[in-house]
Structure 1
Amino acid sequence: MRSIRVASLMKALATGLVVVLTVLPALAIAARPARPFEAAAVFPPWWDAARVRAAVAPVGEISATGRMATVVTVIGGTDVAAGLRAAGAWFILNPALIGCAVRPGATS
């Protein structure tokens, strides 16, 4: 009886691993910024808004802020993502995935 449970558990774990290994690369590709001049960045949660602004300033301009001051959308030069990583961002995302995309021709 115990060996049947272990076998069922191993089968479930193997299935879960296959699903995760299939889905994760697709999510990683979808999360990458679509345009090199615009990206959403997530900075450490203990940073305040002033520190985030100071980190972003050399990279570009903050076009939107999330509910937390550490989540920002930045518009800048040709490779905003690399600059944000160097500035201390934990994650770089496609702004469209978090609802912060700046639409061409949109006004604030």
Structure 2
Amino acid sequence: MTRTVRETLLTIALCGGIGVFSAAVLLGASRSPDPTEAAGVFPPWWSRQAVLAAAGQAGVIRDLGAVPFIVVIRDPAGQAQARLQAAGALFSVGPAGSFACGS
């Protein structure tokens, strides 16, 4: 095996490993031990008013993220993540994962 092929395979393996690790972290962060709270990440091009209106439809706004398109809500019915996604969030994470949101 030549050096170029070896370097290419190493690069592919490294990128694949980073991708698998990132997916595992995201899945771990999205699992919420408390299904009543979640942080929703809305489209960044939405206005702050549109984000707050959508999050307010999903549940009670508990906290705001460091950026204007992240909002933490509370849904007493225990469907916080599903309600955020139904309201237009690109994705949502449990409160344990919201540390990255700056909230």
| Same fold? TM cut 0.5 | yes
Q: Give 1:24 shift.
A: 3.6
Aligned sequence identity (%)? 32
Residue identity matched to 1:5: T
Cα contact 1:30–1:94 (8 A) shared by 2 = no
Q: 1:14-57 CA distances to partner (integer Å, 9 max, x unpaired)?
A: 24424533x24421332113311100011111212221122122
For 1:18 and 1:45, the matched residues in 2 are separated by: 28
For 1:67 and 1:25, the matched residues in 2 are separated by: 23
Residue identity matched to 1:69: P
Q: Which residue is 2:24 aligned to?
A: 26
Q: Which residue is 2:70 aligned to?
A: 71
Q: Which structure ranks higher in relative contact order (CA pairs < 8 Å, sequence separation ≥ 6)?
A: 2
Return the structure number with greater helix share: 2
Is residue 2:57 matched to residue 1:80? no
Classify 1:18/1:53 alpha carbon distance in 2 versus 1 (closer, same or farther; 3 Å).
Answer: closer
Number of residue equivalences? 98
Worse overlay, 30-39 or 8-17 = 8-17
> Structure 2: any 5+ residue segments left out of the alignment?
none
Q: TM-score, normalised by structure 2?
A: 0.77
Cα contact 2:37–2:73 (8 A) shared by 1 = yes
> Structure 1: any 5+ residue segments left out of the alignment?
101-108
Q: In angstroms, what is the RMSD of aligned CA positions?
A: 2.3
